[in-house]
Amino acid sequence: MKTHELFIDGAYAPAASGKTFAKISPVDGRQISVVHEALAEDVDRAVRAARAALEGPWGRMPLRQRTNLLLDLARAIERRAPEFVEAEIQDTGHTRHFSETIEIPRGAANFEIFANLLKNLGGEFFSMDTPDGKGAVNMELHRPKGVIAVISPWNAPFLLMTWKVGPALACGNAVIVKPSEESPATAALLGEVMNEVGIPKGVYNVIHGFGPGSAGELLTQHPGVDGITFTGETRTGEAIMKQAAVGLRDVSFELGGKNPGLIFADCDMDKAIEVTMRSAFANCGQVCLGTERLYVERPIFAEFVARLKAGAEALKPGGPDDPGTTLGPLISAEHRRKVLSYYDKARELGAQVVTGGGVPHFGDSRDQGFFIQPTIWTGLEEDSAVIREEIFGPCCHIRPFDTEEEAIRLANDTRYGLAATVLTENLSRAHRVGRRLEAGLIWVNSWFLRDLRTSFGGSKSSGIGREGGAHSLEFYTERSNLCVKL
């Protein structure tokens, strides 16, 4: 059985308290690893190691040398991709194909993309007149923010963790990563690869544990942390923001979503079903950008519901190595209980259950895992909890609409503003509707199509700040203006 120790100052070590916890497989419910839980002494040691790295070789390292190390890191991840894939699928139950083709390659790419971005980064330069006629010049400087706390989620652990660590290190910061307690393995393994390519000790640190009263809260409260970046649930983000207010530490949050999908009668129906199957059920619905609210123009409502039902019922639940698997498990027993509570609530509120609504039974080891049925509802009121609150499972509610104006109003009637999809073959409508949707990412006739140079983030209760390409520099650097009198 695997043991995941803390990775601090370039070395693996047990937690000072000796406390550990069990990581359970979402596929069959067996224990797959023992994880050391960091408490105050460990967090303090990680912060001191990160600070020492900034004051030592990492802080003095020329940009070209630093970015070349990150390019070496990307290549090393690619060479060791099978180990990262194995670690990821053991923790999450994701299909091997998803990890091999998306999660781990994107994780490596996050270091390459940001290393190359920093190599070619320009800045503002202004010349100005002065009363004595000699003039002055103004130059923009980018400085690393310092010690960055990276709190990453379990739904795409390696991809989303490196999405933060990549730009943080490229900008010259040191990081302390607190991965989810449900997905410790790939963050832990990355420490080994950091050492392999020669990243100085203390630049990358990993502490394991939980949130309140554990590693997460201790890290966000530590006065030696200069910035906190977090992906996860909105209420957790609110709690972290309160802690970050002490010392006025900067925050970058990608939080929850209750994302709408608008399907117009002029859509390509085959394309609309294909896009919605992915946006509603990919990764067993555990995607912050997923679509849980669907609004379908009335003339095609019945056909759309019937075809999405057929698609959901054709999904095949299974483990990572079954080549026929198209639906993995939820991450944990606790999360399944949460999702099932919404399934129960929908029935209590009088929803029509088009399909699903429960737990599948297999007659094998999967019955000890955390599988759940993909579920579709109709008939609920817009003010119900099932419509208002993020469920984060393979489910969606479908409602008909009659006018474009009604569709936009329904889509925007939410506290969230992360993502939205629009399915239409009318180019004018695509522009017209897309511009009025209150979301950070809006897709037309697609979903999850990402150019990593573009901005990523949500509005309203879905986040603060933007990540991606040059947008990440707003959080990971401090800008200064150097004015030189000539």
The pLDDT value given to residue 228:
98
Domain that holds residue 288: 259-451
Q: Check whether residue 270 and residue 244 sit in a common domain.
A: no
Angle between helices 63-79 and 157-170 (to 10 degrees): 160
Predicted pLDDT at 449: 95
Amino acid at 176: I
The reported pLDDT for the residue numbered 207 is: 98
Which member of 284, 288, 395, 396 is catalytic? 288
Q: Give the pLDDT confidence score for residue 122 in this predicted structure.
A: 82
Question: How confident is residue 129, by pLDDT bands cut at 50, 70 and 90?
Answer: very high
Same domain, 251 and 263: no
Query: Which pair of structure tokens corresponds to residue 37?
Result: 């839980």
Q: Over the stretch 363-417, which tens digit does the pLDDT of each residue have?
A: 999 999 999 999 999 999 999 999 999 999 999 999 999 999 999 999 999 999 9
pLDDT tens-digit readout, 28-41: 999 999 999 999 99
Reported as a pLDDT band with limits 50, 70 and 90, residue 327 is: very high
Q: Are residues 249 and 100 in the same domain?
A: yes
Average pLDDT over residues 224-247: 96
What stretches of 93-184 show up as alpha helix (H) in DSSP?
Answer: 96-98, 104-119, 157-170
Domain of residue 363, CATH code: 3.40.309.10
Residue 318 contacts residue 366 (beta carbons within 8 Å): yes
Whether 254 sits among the annotated catalytic residues: the reply is: yes
Mark whether 390 is an active-site residue: no
pLDDT at position 458 is 96
Are residue 146 and residue 193 in the same domain, yes or no? yes
Model-level pTM?
0.96
Residues comprising the chain, all counted: 486
* Pairwise CA distance, residues 225 & 249, whole Å: 8
| Strand ranges of the sheet holding 441-444, from the earlier edge strand across to the other edge | 352-355, 375-378, 395-401, 291-297, 259-263, 419-423, 441-444
pLDDT tens digits, residue range 77-101? Answer: 999 999 999 999 999 999 999 999 9
CA 416/CA 369 separation, integer angstroms:
31
Residue range 276-322, pLDDT digits in tens: 999 999 999 999 999 999 999 999 999 999 999 999 999 999 999 99
Considering the domain boundaries, does residue 436 fall inside one? Answer: yes
DSSP-derived 3-state class of residue 475: helix
pLDDT tens, 240-284? 999 999 999 999 999 999 999 999 999 999 999 999 999 999 999
Rounded CA-CA distance 378/160 in Å is: 33
Say whether both 115 and 191 belong to one domain.
yes
pLDDT of residue 121 exceeding 90, the answer is: no
pLDDT score of 123 = 84
pLDDT band at 453 (very low <50, low <70, confident <90, very high): confident
Which of 254, 292, 297, 467 is flagged as catalytic?
254
What is the spatial distance between Cα 331 and Cα 25, in angstroms, rounded to a whole number? 8
Which CATH number do you get for residue 213?
A: 3.40.605.10
